[in-house]
Structure 1
């Protein structure tokens, strides 16, 4: 996918890590993904993915997936795969709000599908570091692609959510008002998911300090089912 971005978007790496793990463990589904980003990825070079099975079991597999460009390691992920078990199915979650109307449609260049939100992360006015957006993608040719798409989508707005606590800064200021880069991203998949129906991404950032920010979020179906959760740390350098 070609994107209007000066470097390789981290969400692309997350999506490919999920896809690579699914190919390497076709008899299991993804349970969790933990990624460390080491270097900026270049947009004009191919990325090579190498998968190593750390553990193979009847119920669980643990994989390490590395991403390199030429001789540069740019990211590495630990992926846990599993065979779902039966048992209790109970969740504790705040009520899911109504889907915003078409007037709240948002254009996000790195999310080439439908997005709606009452809030605008490009607004530099300060506010609570909380953000909710709804998204829906076109149907995929293969249902196995949906977890990759979901992982891709969770990488975009955590930094912008953290910046809402600071007056005069917004997500659109990266590279000018501030410089940021994601250092690590973790995602847990709780239930099977699809992205071709409306999903709510609800996230908050409890801290921005010491040149870093941290945020966490949930991906929730329109019927209220919690499908996945994620957390992210990023470097945020604001010139003084």
Structure 2
């Protein structure tokens, strides 16, 4: 287990300061604000800690309201909306400096039998044949505006082994391509068997690359390359089948639309043996300089 993964697990181990109230801290990210995947994962941890252990998270819907301050603690207040016979619903508000910065609704369900079908897994390169980030990123150092970007990218993603199965966005500068991408990911070390932990870590990673697919259609080359400004607006996930975040997961992503200063990304996450584990949809601000 890498030191970065140990640090991330510590961040997800929220401090309970009162019934239904938790406190978390932040880790450095590529930009001077709290990484959206972190606050979403922490909010889901807070919600899950108020739910019986036999009820697994099956969906979340979230809105990013304000930029988070990485230098200040985040307080998560959980509202126990409903405890039904099969489903449990929680609402979480993340607060900093007296203002809400994030809002999450999450639903949990007891296990039950039911109809079963899924979209097939698309073709993908074997993750073990792909270069690691440490092997691949230095080749693109010349396209980044800041020469320190490679180091900061590697540091920000140190808790995750994330490998591009398609050309990364910074490899398409000035060359629009189909707005589709694939990455394989797993945590940089083994995890405990707690299902909530695996769901929260997948939530953390899901915010790393999804909106990159918006930029591919325009040859913009990624957030750290050109003059594009972006931020997550909302995020939704549906957890269909059990999975482990410390085993390879294929993140198959695409962008069906960008318009009005916003871009939409949608994706499916599959286990390596082809089971559809998660569906993700996210919209974000995508702004370019006005002519």
TM-score, structure 1 length as denominator?
0.93
Alignment of 1:29-178 (within 5 A): 29-107=56-134, 108-109=153-154, 110-112=156-158, 113-118=160-165, 119-123=167-171, 124=173, 125-137=175-187, 138-143=189-194, 144-167=196-219, 169-173=220-224, 177-178=227-228
For residues 101 and 65 of structure 2, what CA distance do their matches in structure 1 show? 5
Preserved contact between residue 39 and residue 75 of structure 1 (Cα < 8 Å): yes
1:23 aligns with 2:49: yes
Q: Name the structure with the higher helix share.
A: 2
Alignment of 1:201-240 (within 5 A): 201-240=251-290
Alignment length (residue pairs): 238
SS at match of 1:39: coil
For residues 18 and 51 of structure 1, what CA distance do their matches in structure 2 show? 10
For residues 32 and 4 of structure 1, what CA distance do their matches in structure 2 show? 26
For residues 140 and 14 of structure 1, what CA distance do their matches in structure 2 show? 19
- What is residue 10 of structure 1 aligned with on the other side? 36
For residues 286 and 49 of structure 2, what CA distance do their matches in structure 1 show? 35
Alpha-carbon RMSD: 1.6
For residues 33 and 193 of structure 2, what CA distance do their matches in structure 1 show? 28
TM-score, structure 2 length as denominator?
0.77
Greater shift in the superposed pair: 44-53 or 141-150: 141-150
Gaps of 5+ in 1: none
**Shift, 1:4, TM fit:** 3.4
**Shift, 1:145, TM fit:** 0.9
